[in-house]
Structure 1
């Protein structure tokens, strides 16, 4: 059963709908009936339904305004309009709000029953498609190549951890990554002759042709896979028989690909080959080596395979904290999650610091500290304070991994402290500004959470959540409280009439002001005046 709230200002319509309609046979339960837009918005906020049917022409807050407010906070709630106004502009606004139905009055119980069944069928279909594994599986298969490409480019850039690679390789049908040694090569087209068939204005077509040839060759030889980038093509070789064997097999593939491209596509390519590595998370280092090898193509020559191991035989790929691991650590620091930070530091120690020699340990420690300080600066934290507790010069005097790990730990703790202090100050300042804006615009009937959040340059959803957390009340309730307090004060200290007080407290409709006042204080403004003098 779906939950429904019905809103109409005509008591007869509400009573007939509640009494005559067989809600269960339509697939709905009636959660409530409201007489105006204000009541509707309040009830939706208390207990969000699946569907709202609202009359457009209601007092205080009309149906369109109420729907707009509901749509902002509860986009999953379906909305249908019921109105006697056959007006195109109303219909257009309803379409802008993605309203499901536009129902013209008068409406009979039979026609409303039929409409509700249609709406239920639409909602059923939406849920069915969202939860239909066969449909999702087909959609995934259609787009799997895109997901694979994103994942593989993440491997090349160092944003994928070993654990993530292990979890996703099966799902993405990249089982070749279940290997013990990896190696990459980057293929870059050389300047193309005019008669090659590929114009200089369409390099993407040439890249795609190289990608297709490389993919077919790697898969046929069962060596690995191809990845299409923005300006080049990367081949990733994967094997289980050791680095020397993989390097020979991979080099053979690269030389064949180079020759095939020249023969069939009538232009040449230069290929940079990186060093082998042992883990998925280290593929990015091999990729860096491939790019470094391509940097020698001007001096060594084009149309050849250039191996970084031949050019820089003593090149060492220092183990560094990959971006994915760095992002996880920074996220834990931002959340002030001490346990998660400690767990990540434990992984760092066991995988990077302890296995490495003193020079690599210092390099890794220094790299992590610089990354953390860069992030601290991006967040606007006081880096001088952080540096005072984590002097980078200490790294060069350290000789054992535990000392270096402790320095990183101190930096993380200092950052967590700074983040919490900065966030507290920022939230406090934002809420002080919000209170001031509300006080300055209290007489404006258009004052809303959206207006205040726009003024503060915050998203409306974040502002509402922050406001409730910091102030202890929703924006609407706080605004109502401020207006009611001012209204009470005006009644106590002035002889102003109700419509004048309504204007000074931001209510365009005096009747709506009286309605809100009575709901808040339990008596109308006039009854409140009388109670003062008795």
Structure 2
């Protein structure tokens, strides 16, 4: 493999030069990518280059070797750390062990000893790389085995042998996505009688399975597998009403197979469910539907709901699921899809047996749900800001077409307002962070952790959004802000540099001078002198 990379850290450059010259780095399998003269700069270089090894002195300005080792261990655990120092103190050694430091080397550095250290370290790194590669081999084997594992999971699922509280873990382990929100099991049965002349029964079944995958799998986001000599498809539906379209498509599939291949195929369509664990019941009903081929014939699709309908539910009750789907459409779908969801919702609450009282209840529940949705999402809708009693009275007088137009208008308006709130939220999020810097930059304790705690967000999410909106990391933005404030104070006041450093959040005057020089190329005092001379 390529050479392992090493970063050297010591505030005495001559020490670093001696180490670089004393060791045959290339012969040992290492390459020195650079050096830093303090822990702060070293940490920046580690973040940029992520070296395999960091060899650092302990006693350094701004950030000592122990603190540097702590940061590296927390953020870059794969990086190996070597500590060397002229101070043979037990407490240092004890803490080095706590930080899982590879070696603790005393100055002056002996080339023979250092060669032995890096020789052992090379073997250890090689071993870790080998283990990782073995892990990759295992991962490849696992991925190759996934189809079989997934098929076994599906079989166990329809047998009803997977506890509901373990479903999510199985889906995650086997990399299976079943978002639904509705599910239906299909049993595709190929008759053993009437097989075309010269056709092997096994080849016929294999051909039917192949055709089913090609014609049904993609559209219905179906998971297919073989089980008890049948092909099973676990179809996913966006709406429960799609079951009719699925039944028609399966019926066309059966006739297609009979015409093209000559086989007699029956597709049993089970009951629709909303929970993955209920697919076991859907499978039972699909298998029952297939058994009805004795009455209805083969080469067709048989939907259990059509041949054995359930008892009619009480009209007008339990529209929570329809309202939930409508609110979901407002959140996620396009205006066209929202209008379609509105029509589906109104259709679900419309039936001949419905009383005027039930109609009033449905409208009251709908209006309450929409108002709650707006309030929970901080949305301001003009229709909801006036007299709610008057609005409710208007709805009661609306004819069906007018009601549909009003509801479409309100739902699309909610959707558009929600998009605006999301966009404003991202912008205000960054502005709040900038305000936080403006109000707290003088506090040396300000960090990524403190601003995230103040805003109530995670570090990773905050860092991603802030960098995307500003083009800088938060620490980079904070440093630039502090330096700009410091430069103004240097030119506008006669205060000493260390006082200005404290005012912009740096209690260590040497470190303030170091950061300032890195930003402007000169020390604070020289910056003030140069600018004052220009003005004169």
**TM-score, with normalisation over the residues of structure 2?**
0.57
1:317 shift after superposition: 9.3
In structure 1, the partner of 2:131 is 125
Task: Find the partner of 2:283 among 227, 237, 241.
Answer: 237
Q: Is the 8 A contact 1:382 1:418 kept in 2?
A: no
Cα distance in 2 for partners of 1:181, 1:518 equals 62
Inter-partner Cα distance in structure 2 for 1:126 and 1:409: 57
Q: Name the CA shift for 1:349/1:242 in 2 (closer, same or farther; >3 Å).
A: farther
| 1:207-218 equivalent positions in 2, closer than 5 A | none
Q: 1:418 to 1:156 in 2, by over 3 A?
A: closer
* Match for residue 149 of structure 1 among 167, 186, 198: 167
Aligned: 1:49 with 2:50: yes
Conserved 8 A contact 2:40-2:63: yes
SS at structure 2 position matched to 1:82: strand
* 1:424 corresponds to: 424
Q: Distance in 1 between matches of 2:410 and 2:90?
A: 65
Paired residue secondary structure (1:78):
coil
More divergent stretch after superposition (50-59 vs 168-177): 168-177
Q: Which residue of 1 aligns with 2:510?
A: 511
Change over 3 Å in CA distance of 1:112–1:385 after alignment to 2:
farther
Query: Offset at 1:378?
Result: 3.2
1:270-349 equivalences in 2 (<5 Å) = 277=305, 309=310, 329=329, 332=332, 341=334
2:478 is aligned to 479
**In the alignment, which residue of structure 2 is the partner of 1:38?**
40
Going from structure 1 to structure 2, the CA distance change for 1:24 and 1:463 (only over 3 Å counts) comes to: farther
Query: CA-to-partner distance for each residue in 1:240-276, whole Å, 9 max, x for gaps?
Result: 5775957x9xxxxxxxxxxxxxxxxxxxxxxxxxx95
Aligned in 2, Cα 1:242/1:170: closer, same or farther, shift over 3 Å? closer
- Give 1:514 deviation, angstroms: 1.2
Alignment of 1:361-440 (within 5 A): 375-382=373-380, 397=398, 404=404, 407-408=407-408, 411-421=411-421, 423-424=423-424, 427-428=427-428, 430-440=429-439
Which 5+ residue runs of structure 1 have no aligned equivalent? 183-221, 249-274, 279-306, 333-339
Cα drift, residue 150 of structure 1 = 3.6
Query: 1:522: Cα distance to partner?
Result: 0.9
Deviation track 1:168-226 (CA, whole Å, cap 9, x = no partner) reads: 634898987527999xxxxxxxxxxxxxxxxxxxxxxxxxxxxxxxxxxxxxxx9999x
CA distances 1:497-525 after superposition (whole Å, capped 9, x unpaired): 33333222222322211111111111112
* Cα distance change on mapping 1:59 and 1:90 into 2, 3 Å: same
Structure 1's 439 and 355: CA in aligned 2 closer, same or farther, altered over 3 A?
closer
Assess if the C-alpha contact under 8 Å between 2:183 and 2:234 holds in 1: no
Shift of residue 41, structure 1, vs aligned partner: 3.6
Query: How many residues align structurally?
Result: 420
Residues 395 and 404 in structure 1, CA contact (< 8 A), matched pair in contact too: no
Q: Retained in 1: the 8 A contact 2:220–2:236?
A: no
SS at match of 2:507: coil
Report what 2:233 is aligned to: 178
Aligned to 1:112: 118
Deviations 1:271-318 (CA, angstroms, capped at 9, x unpaired)? xxxx9558xxxxxxxxxxxxxxxxxxxxxxxxxxxx994696989998
CA shift in 2, pair 1:414/1:244, >3 Å = same
**Structure 1 contact 6–32 (Cα < 8 Å) conserved:** yes
TM value normalised by structure 1 = 0.57
Separation in structure 2 between the aligned mates of residue 396 and residue 164 of structure 1, nearest angstrom: 45
User: Matches of 2:20 and 2:339 in 1, distance apart?
Assistant: 62
CA distance in 2, matches of 1:464, 1:167: 36
Does structure 1 residue 134 correspond to structure 2 residue 132? Answer: no
Q: Is the 8 A contact 1:386 1:415 kept in 2?
A: no
Following superposition, the deviation at residue 451 of structure 1 comes to 0.9
Q: Distance in 2 between matches of 1:486 and 1:500?
A: 13
Please give the alpha-carbon distance, in whole angstroms, between the structure 2 residues aligned to 1:115 and 1:48: 19
Contact in 2 for aligned 1:79/1:100 (Cα 8 Å): no
* 1:24 CA displacement: 9.2
Change (3 A) 1:368 1:503: same
1:443 equivalent in alignment to 2:442: yes
Relative to structure 1, is the Cα distance of residues 167 and 431 closer, same or farther in structure 2, using a 3 angstrom cutoff? closer
Q: CA deviation at 1:134?
A: 1.8
Q: Is the 8 A contact 1:321 1:364 kept in 2?
A: no
Equivalence for 2:356: none
Deviation at 1:234, TM superposition (A): 7.4
Describe the superposition over 1:392-449 as per-residue Cα deviations: whole angstroms up to 9, x where unpaired: 976995657x995995476245323344236515742x44543443344333322212
Q: Report the CA distance between 1:103 and its aligned residue.
A: 2.6
Q: For the structure 1 residues 181 and 277, does the alpha-carbon distance in structure 2 shift closer, same or farther, using more than 3 Å as the test?
A: farther
Could you tell me which residue of structure 2 aligns to residue 60 of structure 1? Answer: 62
CA distance in 2, matches of 1:319, 1:119: 59
